[in-house]
Structure 1
Amino acid sequence: MPRSDSDIATLEDPATVTGRDKAPAAARQADDDVVIRARGVTVAFGGKKVLDDLSLDVRRGEILGFVGPSGAGKSVLLRTILGLNAKDAGTIEVFGIDYDRASDRERLSVERRWGVLFQHGALFSALTVRENIEVPMKEYLDLSPKLMHELAMLKIDLVGLAPDAADKYPSELSGGMIKRAALARALALDPEIVFLDEPTSGLDPIGAADFDQLIMTLRDTLGLSVYMVTHDLDSLFQACDRIAVLGERKVLVEGPLAKMLDYDHPWVKSYFHGKRARTIVTNDAKPARPTPFDGAA
């Protein structure tokens, strides 16, 4: 008598069946962990390629440090992910949505799930800190002025600014305060991803260290994924879970700090073992966790 499908399933090795079931589940889990997926991205200006067949993943809940020589295209890739630069080739998916093929509604849903801190803060000079933070709320949400005011004050407190900073204009702020105000605006819509473009540039070492601590604390408390374009070695050593190095128009290497320290490439070796690089001696070359953030820079 021929065996039924149920009989065959019963006769199979349980370990084989379990392994077969686990493989797709593991693949689905891996896909769920990737919030940004770039594949084959090529960007050119005036016929000159800045990025060429670049691929990169950003995972849920991580702080990814994106580093490379000046002019290599770090900010170009960030702006391309945000849809501010056009691609010549390749795909970029954010939350599983191909931004190029997305409908207006899908694009709106993606944009509400990210926040951006542009280089130098990019605050509107004619608006107060509170008004700057309310800009994304006015664009994407339908809230009363009173509620927007209350939410803006919550964001100001979240990034460690004093309440009286709310009514100050950017010209009245220190460098560290500008960075925090810009971060508060990036957090205005309670995003899942935060893009940071050179967040510690222009800050003194203490202010930069405090800002790194703030980013790590917010990542841990809010469950953020952080894409950080930086040249700051201290930020890479201290704050980043994973590092991607841009060079030769693509990602040369990506992984934890230990992989960067072992990677045999002239620029990578010079950068991570140069005179300004810190000597880190740990079992796995993973940066230590900071103490809780306790003040403003």
Structure 2
Amino acid sequence: MVDALAPSPAREAAPPEREIAIRVRGVEVGFGPKTIMKNLDLDVYRGEILGFVGGSGQGKSVLTRAILGLVPTRAGTIEVLGRDVARLSPQERKALETRWGVLFQQGALFSALTVKQNVQVPMREHRRLSQAMMDDLAMLKIEMVGLPPDAAEKLPSELSGGMIKRAALARALALDPDIVFLDEPTSGLDPIGAADFDDLIATLQKTLGLTVYMVTHDLDSLYSVCDRIAALAEGRVIAQGPLETMLASDHPWVRSYFHGKRARALARDGA
């Protein structure tokens, strides 16, 4: 149970020139008698890669689903691209959904559809395009994420773990979104594959001007591609800022996460 009297940490003041793509204020989410988060504040700036971390079961995925409008909130407001997600009409919500893409942790590809058909699912749902146009666009997205052309006709069961991640990313990019949500994008990948995927995310973010909201446990990703990091504990964001801010935090959980045994090699190497 979250302490209702626990103060919310001071938020970073957004520089005037930086637009906030996702604004979370005073959000409370719970299920039945259990409160998952309370008085939670978070800003995600347009054009940045934000790494979102927290212990298992702390509510990282719950907050992501709340931002996407998939989980109801008990209090507070969530604005995405200037729109309050709780106040949208069905038509307005559908329009907003075309401006974000989601890569789920295990890819969540439709097993009976080929890679190309999976990438075309958002196009069929939100666009009125000819089959030829969808084929061309799907192949463009497949190439964009580094998959070979022949992967387009393969089923998910015929793909490696890394290829599944890339196919799912291609689907997330199908509608040229402003924001991409990534849920543990490098989980299950070997270190080389994870590093390659991080490089792909960084390249696409710069090339397409994406805002990236990335839930991750991968310290390498936090060190190598994230502009800022936000840490979730005690039902709220306990620290947020660039890596230097996180390393300087005196919060016990943050210190344990960034100065623990698994972080020592990275710190020693100056990553």
Shift of 1:81: 0.4
Once residues 79 and 92 of structure 2 are traced to their aligned partners in structure 1, the CA distance between those partners, rounded to angstroms, is 12
Q: TM-score, normalised by structure 2?
A: 0.92
Q: Which shifted more, 203-212 or 41-50?
A: 41-50
In terms of Rg, which structure is larger? 1
Q: Which secondary structure does the structure 2 equivalent of 1:276 belong to?
A: helix
1:147 positional shift: 0.5
Does residue 218 (structure 1) correspond to residue 200 (structure 2)? The answer is no
* Residue in structure 2 matched with residue 242 of structure 1 by the alignment: 228
Deviation at 1:104, TM superposition (A): 2.3
**Letter aligned with residue 123 of structure 1:** L
Please give the secondary structure, in 1, of the residue aligned with 2:134: helix
Which digits, 9 at most, give the CA deviation of each residue in 1:46-102, with x for residues without a partner?
Answer: 210111110101101100000000110001000110011111111000111001111
Q: Look up the equivalent residue of 1:81 and give its one-letter code.
A: I
CA distance in 2, matches of 1:281, 1:232: 16
Give the secondary structure class of the aligned counterpart of 1:268: helix
Q: Which structure has more RCO (C-alpha within 8 Å, separation ≥ 6)?
A: 2
Matched with 1:93 is 79
**One-letter identity of the residue aligned with 1:79:** R
Aligned to 2:66: 80
Q: Does 1:64 align with 2:50?
A: yes
How many percent of aligned residue pairs carry the same amino acid?
A: 67
CA RMSD of aligned residues (A): 1.1
What is the distance in 1 between the residues matched to 2:79 and 2:268? 35
**Which residue number corresponds to residue 150 of structure 1?**
136
1:12 corresponding residue in structure 2: none
- Once residues 160 and 49 of structure 2 are traced to their aligned partners in structure 1, the CA distance between those partners, rounded to angstroms, is 26
Residue number among 231, 239, 245 corresponding to 1:253 in the alignment: 239
| One-letter amino acid matched to 1:279 | A
Give distance in 1, aligned partners of 2:184 and 2:241: 20
The Cα of 1:197 is off from its aligned counterpart by 0.2
Match of 1:117 in 2: 103
Number of the residue aligned with 2:32: 46
Runs of 4+ in structure 1 deviating by more than 4 angstroms, as ranges, are none
Q: By how many angstroms is 1:281 displaced? A: 6.6
Find the counterpart in structure 2 of residue 195 from structure 1.
181
Q: In the alignment, what sits opposite 2:267?
A: 279
User: Alignment partner of 1:49: what SS?
Assistant: strand
Tell me the CA shift for residue 280 of structure 1: 5.6
Correspondence 1:231 to 2:217: yes
**In terms of mean alpha carbon deviation, does 234-243 or 46-55 score higher?**
46-55
CA distance in 1, matches of 2:268, 2:92: 44
Q: Give the structure 2 partner of residue 208 of structure 1.
A: 194
TM-score (norm 1): 0.84
